[in-house]
Structure 1
Amino acid sequence: MKLTPTKTPFVVKKMFPDYVWEINTTQKELFLTFDDGPTPEITPWVLDRLQHYNAKATFFCIGSNIEKHPEIFKRIIEEGHQIGNHTHNHIKGWKTKTKDYLVNVHEAQNSIALQIPKTKHQKPNIVNLFRPPYGQIKPKQGKKLMALGYKIVMWDVLSFDWDKTITNEACLNQVISKSKAGSIIVFHDSVKASNNMIYALPKVLEHYSKLGFQFNAIEA
């Protein structure tokens, strides 16, 4: 049984009001996010699907993966998507000292910054988007990061695409049954999540496109 709910409860959002859980909007728009890339087996496939639907998304990238796959990282930016920091080594905030956590975030930010000047397009404002791996972040870590200018982006809806105990259909249904205008939806461009994500993502894009929704990146 999952301990984390598919849709973030209202009480949790109220407990941490300084974090971004959803986007306040009057438009028919959704905010797809992808964690843990760039991944050569998966991220290019995701970018192709997004391009087909003229959809923009936000990619919370791991610093070490950026260093391994800079060409994929640059493609994300060149195709108009937003970038966020997801630490350098996908560390758990609850199990990491705040000082060490901040060092790891900074290392990831350096990996991001080193690749930005090499792109042909205008540098996006990526400095202030951060998502903690596993959603685990101590209050002190959050306060320190926000003091440094980071916007901590959580989510409204989890797809649970990484969970091998749920079916493709269940992954899809969790997104479609819980998402509404302004929802921040979490997918993963990782090998672990690929089976469910590859099934669900095209159907989510198709379903909401037919309903007149747009898919936008989160503004930095």
Structure 2
Amino acid sequence: MGITPVKTPKIVKKALPKYVWEKQTNEKILYLTFDDGPTPNITDQVLNLLSEFHAKATFFCIGNNVEKHPEIFKNILSKGHAIGNHTQNHLKGWKTDLEHYLADVDKAQDVINSELKDNKFSQKLFRPPYGKIKPSQGKALINLGYTIVMWNVLSFDWDNQTSPDTCLKNVLDKSEPGSIIVFHDSEKAAKNLLYALPKVLEHFSNKGYTFKALAS
């Protein structure tokens, strides 16, 4: 897992207070998020698992994947989940100039909006791929009306050095009321994701937690 911590340090959250890292609540609520989809087969399995536990989540979609798989995107919406923008081409903000980055985000939002049409969802949630975003990019996006959503628990489901059991343990050990948890509905993460997710849903459901979608 390298130097990136499972649990986001308080100092990082304090340094970037305009980004959403968690939700302040005393209720037993968790916020599951899924990055990089929609992905054939994998996203569908995630949706089925969420439905089984009456759980809602937020999907940060890559615009290019929405264009390729509009039927899966529509299925996410039909299940009542929230949608976020994850750029058109999964750009790494630290290596992208401001103009190019904003144009890519705008393109993804156009794709998302074209599929949303008359759907009730209108929020502009954004998560930077890799969590890497320059201050200038973040400021510009906030000025454009986006809510930048980060996290306070990383499952590390995408990391081939992380075993399924460790992925599960990361979430079980570090999550608390109001946690925003990151999974990925991608081929790279599928093995760990599909092992850990049902166990996470069962574990916290048995403890009286509910799973909600984020809203701006």
Q: TM-score, normalised by structure 2?
A: 0.98
Structure 2 equivalent of residue 2 of structure 1: 2
Displacement after TM superposition at 1:219 (Å)? 1.1
In the alignment, structure 2 segments of 5+ residues that lack a partner are: none
Matching residue within 175, 178, 198 for 2:174: 178
Matching residue within 120, 125, 128 for 2:122: 125
Structure 2 equivalent of residue 200 of structure 1: 196
Matching residue within 136, 139, 149 for 1:140: 136
In the alignment, structure 1 segments of 5+ residues that lack a partner are: none
Structure 2 equivalent of residue 85 of structure 1: 85
Matching residue within 180, 185, 190 for 1:189: 185
CA deviation profile, 1:125-160 (whole Å, cap 9, x unmatched):
23x200000000000000000000000000010000
Q: Secondary structure at the match of 1:26?
A: coil
Structure 2 equivalent of residue 152 of structure 1: 148
Displacement after TM superposition at 1:42 (Å)? 0.5
Q: Secondary structure at the match of 1:58?
A: strand
CA RMSD of aligned residues (A): 0.8
Structure 2 equivalent of residue 214 of structure 1: 210
Structure 1 equivalent of residue 160 of structure 2: 164
CA deviation profile, 1:172-207 (whole Å, cap 9, x unmatched):
000000000000000000000000000000000000
The letter for the 2-side match of 1:30 is L
Q: Secondary structure at the match of 1:112?
A: helix
Q: Secondary structure at the match of 2:103?
A: helix
User: Kindly, what percent of the aligned residue pairs are identical?
Assistant: 60
Contact 1:41 1:191 in 2 (8 A): no
